[in-house]
Chains A and B, each alone.
Chain A
Amino acid sequence: MKKHITWIQHKLGIQHKLGLQHKLQIQPKAWILILFVMAALFGGCGRDSDHTEAQAENPPEPSVVVGFSQLGAESDWRSANTDSMLQTFTRENGYTLIYENGQQQQSKQITAIRKFIQQDVDYIVLAPEKETGWESVLEEARNAEIPVIIVDRRVAAADKNLYTCWVGSDFELEGKKMCAWLGSFAEAHGIAPEELHIVNIQGTIGSTAQIGRTRGLANAARENGWDLMEEISGDFTETRGREVMSMLLDKYDNLNVVYCENDNMALGVLDAIEEAGRTAGSDIANGEIMVVSFDGVNEEARELARAGKISCIAECNPLHGPRVEALIRQLEAGEEPEKHNYVDEKIFSAEEAVREIEIDGVTYKVEKP
């Protein structure tokens, strides 16, 4: 024992660092743990790889392989969009879907598309994270003759033939609808245009939804003479929405309309309003703050719209799966689909005052949330 101790003290520096003092008792435990973890990991992988192998060797029918690169899972809208794809491109429907989550990074999405090309997919479905920077990877796909269908946000490329077609929402129209509703509402309640003190809580800067909805409001504010006090990004997330709103409430005493570019941010905004001891609602003449928002996917937001806390929601339909499938069927049949495909969208409000709105000669009914 004594010898052992002097030995330790002798080589203390190195020993201490390497923690070799009691290896004797570790051995069995270590091996058990290693075996366990390895079994868990490789067991898991093994099972799944068998699965895929079976899929590859004897497909139920000649199945169409679709690679879907989703940009992330930042909002409920996005999750609903992903679910729609996953539920449409099932094996029962004759598809093999390879789904890749880009986690909000364009580079990850580009890597995913390159992987799809290597995996020899038949179609690539891309929900791009931003509008620019896709030229080179889309060209690779085109050189490999794989059709690319863009969903939701757009791709800004000089060469429109880099992708086959696009499916998504008309975000500027959503913005216009909302502004038309706001205008009719103010008119119905006798509120002067300059009495509307609006802040715009924008989505992720540069996303198609943000650009369209922001443009819709900016144009309407200019035409109607509304007081658009500030435009600031809340990144489409609840947390940022709350932060930004707290800051705005401190900054402006007179703000009475919050134009929120998605529901998740609206939830954060409502929290911030209540924290500041204010009330959300459409009675802006009596100090309430009106919150209007977009998407209409989040059930909680729909509930709040029914309760009148969110005064109006312009729907942004996330169910792109069936639409994309129809396009793929067209392509399979050798037809040339439309370049731009819009999905139908509604507008919801619990307010009685405005029952329908008109934009560019088209009338839209305002529905109950």
Chain B
Amino acid sequence: MEKKRKNSIFTKLSDTNMLLLITIVVFFAMYIGAVVFLGGGFKKPQTLFNILNANAALIITACGMSIVMITGGIDISVGGVVALVSMCCAVHLDFGNGSVPTSILIAVGIGIAFGVVQGFLVAYLEIQPFIVSLAGMFFARGMTTIVHTAPFNVAHEGFNKLKQTRINVPGMGSLNKKGIYVPAYIEIGVVVALLVIIIFFIVLRWTKLGRSFYAVGGNQQSALMLGINVKRTRFLSHLICSILAGIGGYVYFLHVGSGSASHAVGLEMNAIASSIIGGTMLTGGVGNVIGTLFGVLSLSTIQNIVSSAGLDQAWWTGITIAAMLCIFLLIQSIVMAQKKRALRSDS
């Protein structure tokens, strides 16, 4: 009996790899297709770097989202937390004579506060994560306007220096029509995002905590029998997600350099969509942060393709993302069903 359960968790991990493979293949197919058919900007490496620069915050928050989803939960407050973090940091820097280190502390602090409260409500009071984080989202969005209503750009000198810091990627630049060399670069946020992905890839794959996320998401009962502290694990997943939302919020803030109540609207849905495209299942127990990274990249590549193809984005972005989501959901649904059929014929 015991062996069988372990076995099923193990099988799911390989599901993770299969879905990851699909995502990576689709991303590369799409990107190469864009280079071949659309050419232009897509031939230049900086286009990919621009996608990374603009989506570093999404990568970080989607990574947290994946962890919560692997554990079987959901957190739709991340967009609100990102907006609240940018607003609080902006106010702190400009009106509070703050410094960059203290503003980073504020960002992480907000993340921890949301994580502790939401994690406690979800894990220990057993309230639906959807409702808890829905209230969290409302609260964060409302608080953002209470902190400061009007959007404004930060004038703090040290911060702007950090904002404009670039890491040039040697050999990746290109010559433009006029023969001027345009260098390729990434922003600091991208480094943070890649670090986050690597750290949590290691955590999920090789630590006890990581494996307990999969176990709890796969089947709480058997996780309990395996001696895993289910409540603590769920609490930690929400805590990690919110802290990452806090860090993502700071990276977002670093990218846009302003505080506004309308920042990151819909970010939570993009994070969920990226996770799904990256092969994380909302049912829990299946997923991978590398997949999430490729999910974000696929999502923004398709947006880029749509606008490069000259379609009015206001409609088409929404529709293509939805179509893409639809395809991935169906692929997942079918792959899983196929898998189960194979499993059943085995037994």
The answer to the question of A136 belonging to the interface, with a C-beta cut-off of 8 Å to chain B, is: yes
| Number of inter-chain CB pairs below 8 Å | 161
B40:A120 contact, CB within 8 angstroms: yes
Is B305 touching A105 in the complex (CB atoms < 8 A)? no
Q: Does B17 contact A (CB under 8 A)?
A: no
> Is B199's CB within 8 Å of the partner chain A?
no
Q: Is the CB of A18 within 8 A of B50?
A: no
Which one of B150, B219, B305, B309 contacts A17 once the chains associate, using CB atoms below 8 Å? B219
Residues A14 and B218 in contact in the complex (CB < 8 Å), given A20-B337, A53-B37, A118-B46: yes
Tell me whether A145 and B341 are in contact in the complex, defined as CB-CB below 8 angstroms, given that A37-B326, A37-B330, A118-B50 are known contacts: no
B221 within 8 A of A: yes
Q: Does chain B have a CB within 8 A of A276?
A: no
**A37 x B304 contact (CB < 8 A):** no
- Is A51 a contact of B309 with CB atoms below 8 Å? yes
- Count the A residues whose beta carbon is within 8 Å of the partner chain — how many? 60
Q: How far is the CA of A31 from the CA of B334 in the complex (A)?
A: 8
Q: Is A225 an interface residue (CB 8 A)?
A: no
Best-surrounded residue of B262, B263, B311, B337 (most CB of chain A within 10 A): B337
Number of chain B residues close to chain A: CB under 8 A: 66
CB pair A118 B44 closer than 8 Å? yes
Q: Are A73 and B314 closer than 8 Å at their CB atoms? A: yes
What mask results when residues 176 to 196 of chain B are scored 1 for a CB within 8 Å of chain A, else 0? 111010100000000000000
Residues of the A chain whose Cβ atoms lie less than 8 Å from the Cβ of B177: 120, 122
Which chain A residues lie closer than 8 Å to B327 at the CB level? 34, 37-38, 41
Instruction: State whether the Cβ of A192 lies closer than 8 Å to any Cβ in chain B.
Output: no
Is the CB–CB distance between B222 and A13 below 8 Å? yes
Take A40-B323, A52-B38 as given contacts and tell me if A34 and B331 are in contact as well, using a CB distance cutoff of 8 Å.
yes
Do residues B307 and A130 form an inter-chain contact, with CB atoms below 8 A? no
B8 part of interface (Cβ distance < 8 Å): yes
> Is the beta-carbon distance between B153 and A30 smaller than 8 angstroms?
no
A150 to B215, CA, bound (A): 55
**Cβ contact within 8 Å between A51 and B314:** no
Q: Is B158 an interface residue (CB 8 A)?
A: no
Does A162 reach chain B (CB closer than 8 Å)? Answer: no
Complex CA gap A53/B311 in Å reads: 14
- The answer to whether A132 touches B41 (Cβ under 8 A) is no
Docked pose: A106 CA to B323 CA in angstroms: 27
What 0/1 pattern do residues 245 to 267 of B give for CB contact below 8 A with A?
00000000001111000110000
A20 touches B37 (CB 8 A): no
The answer to whether the Cβ of B310 comes within 8 Å of any Cβ in the partner chain is yes
How far is A99 from B12 in the complex, measured between Cα atoms in Å?
Answer: 45
Interface residues of B in 300-347 (CB under 8 A from A): 304-314, 320, 323-324, 326-327, 330-331, 333-334, 336-338, 340-341, 343-344, 347
Residues of A within 8 A of B149 (CB): 205, 233
Interchain residue pairs A-B with the least CB separation, the first 5: A20-B340, A23-B337, A48-B309, A118-B41, A132-B153
List 11 extra interface pairs beyond A19-B337, A34-B334, A114-B53, CB under 8 A.
A20-B341, A30-B330, A46-B37, A49-B309, A51-B309, A52-B309, A56-B40, A100-B313, A104-B262, A130-B153, A205-B149
Could you write out 6 A-B pairs with CB less than 8 Å apart? A14-B218, A17-B218, A46-B37, A50-B37, A100-B313, A107-B54
B residues lining the A interface (CB < 8 Å):
8, 37-41, 44, 46-47, 50, 53-54, 149-153, 155, 163-164, 176-178, 180, 182, 218-219, 221-222, 255-258, 262-263, 283-285, 304-314, 320, 323-324, 326-327, 330-331, 333-334, 336-338, 340-341, 343-344, 347
Binding site for B on A (CB under 8 A): 7, 11, 13-15, 17-20, 23-24, 26-27, 30-31, 33-34, 37-38, 40-41, 45-46, 48-53, 56, 73, 98-101, 103-107, 110-111, 114-115, 117-120, 122, 130, 132-133, 136, 140, 143-145, 205-206, 233
